[in-house]
Amino acid sequence: MENSKKVIFSGIQPSGNLTIGNYFGALKNWVKLQDKYDCYFCVVDLHAITVRQEPKDLRRRTLEVLAIYLAAGIDPEKNTIFIQSHVPTHSEAAWLLNCFTYVGELERMTQYKSKSKKYEDGNGSVSAGLLNYPVLMAADILLYNADLVPVGKDQTQHIELTRDIAERFNNAYSPTFTLPEGYIPEGGAKIMDLQDPTKKMSKSSSNPNSYVLIMDSPEVIRRKINRCVTDSVGVVKYTDSQPGVKNLINILGAVTGMSCEDIEAKYEGKGYAEFKNDVAEALIKELSPIQDKVNELLQNKKYLEEIYKKGAEKAYYVSSKILRKMQKKIGFIPVSR
């Protein structure tokens, strides 16, 4: 029965605290997919170390991301939830796939170009990990023969590369991998930076006022929304010429399910103060129960351990089969273990 369901793989890096962009753009949609698909949701800690991480922060955030997955409603009974570094097949497959990927392809990735520029400006060195990152992502996806990969627009280039690598391998030997497709679920909102609404809200921004974190307290949420950049038009209208207001409408719509038209109508003739206040209160109402649940889960490390252990076992079982296929086709000598 399970095998007839399409497979979904996705992951979030524990490289920063998760924002409402991750929540509305990823997590909230994942929850809706869990009944229809066979889903693998991974905390991609191997990806996070492509830039330097403080060990104790990485440990804390990895568990927190896992707890947020659960608190957001991802059911560990229905899905495979795991931590990437617990499943060694990912690193192994990434090496093999590296040998089917061209340096030129990797250098062409937009994310690599922008991230490497950022680090060049700092202390001069860009890790090979940053360049190879999309190959690890390809391994994540191909090891489960995922059909669909729900991600934001910024990741579509990496998925195209995954398809190219998979096709190259399939052509060199014989059909091995499913060619995955990016999947942007309906209603998947793109949440913009609160200080510069032409940019995507990102957990790696250096200015904390530019994002709301899933774990931000009510006071902090009120302050950040209150101070967010809007415009001097003074009308709540869903238009590209008012990107700050448009973003707040998207946020309010994502929380309440109201359409843009309903929101425009509700705030007709009213100022931004009342609108912002309502956005903040709606966010607080949505996030408070999740925060309580996350805090409760983080108190119960044994329970979290049970979940990530079980997830890793299942992920290892499934991915090993594909890894063994790859090794065999490449010409490695099999050994029974």
Picked from ligand AMP, ligand TRP, none, the partner binding residue 180 (CB below 5 to 8 A depending on kind) is none
| Residue 154 annotated as part of some ligand binding site | yes
d(CA 237, CA 226): 18
| Residue 191 annotated as part of some ligand binding site | yes
What tokens were used for 146?
């995922």
Distance in Å, CB of 269 to ligand AMP, minimum: 30
| Residue 140 annotated as part of some ligand binding site | yes
Does position 310 interact with ligand AMP (CB under 6 A)? The reply is no
Active-site annotation, residues: 115, 200, 203
Does position 276 interact with ligand AMP (CB under 6 A)? The reply is no
What tokens were used for 127?
């890790």
Alpha helices by DSSP H, 205-300: 218-226, 243-256, 260-266, 272-298
CA–centroid distance for 255 within its chain: 19
Convert 267-292 to b/e letters by CB count within 10 Å (16 or more is b): beeeebeebbebbbebbbebbeebbe
**What residues form DSSP beta bridges with 82?**
42
Distance in Å, CB of 270 to ligand AMP, minimum: 26
The HSE-up count of residue 205 (CA atoms within 13 Å, CB side) is: 21
What tokens were used for 107?
């250098």
**Residue 113 CA: distances (Å) to CA of 105, 252, 293:** 12, 34, 38
Picked from ligand AMP, ligand TRP, none, the partner binding residue 201 (CB below 5 to 8 A depending on kind) is ligand AMP
Does position 143 interact with ligand AMP (CB under 6 A)? The reply is no
Which CB sits closer to ligand AMP, 26 or 148?
26
The SS3 assignment for 46 reads helix
Residues that bind ligand TRP (CB under 6 A): 9-11, 13, 44, 47, 137, 140-141, 149, 151, 155
Span of 31-39, 61-69, 195-203, 270-278 interacting with ligand AMP by CB under 6 A:
195-203
Picked from ligand TRP, ligand AMP, none, the partner binding residue 149 (CB below 5 to 8 A depending on kind) is ligand TRP
Does position 25 interact with ligand AMP (CB under 6 A)? The reply is yes
- Crossing angle of helices 110-123/156-172, nearest 10°? 110
Distance in Å, CB of 190 to ligand AMP, minimum: 4
Which CB sits closer to ligand TRP, 204 or 239?
204
Picked from ligand TRP, ligand AMP, none, the partner binding residue 21 (CB below 5 to 8 A depending on kind) is ligand AMP
Does position 194 interact with ligand AMP (CB under 6 A)? The reply is no
d(CA 184, CA 180): 13
Distance in Å, CB of 10 to ligand TRP, minimum: 4
Picked from ligand TRP, ligand AMP, none, the partner binding residue 70 (CB below 5 to 8 A depending on kind) is none
Residues with Cβ within 8 Å of residue 73, at least 6 apart in sequence: 31
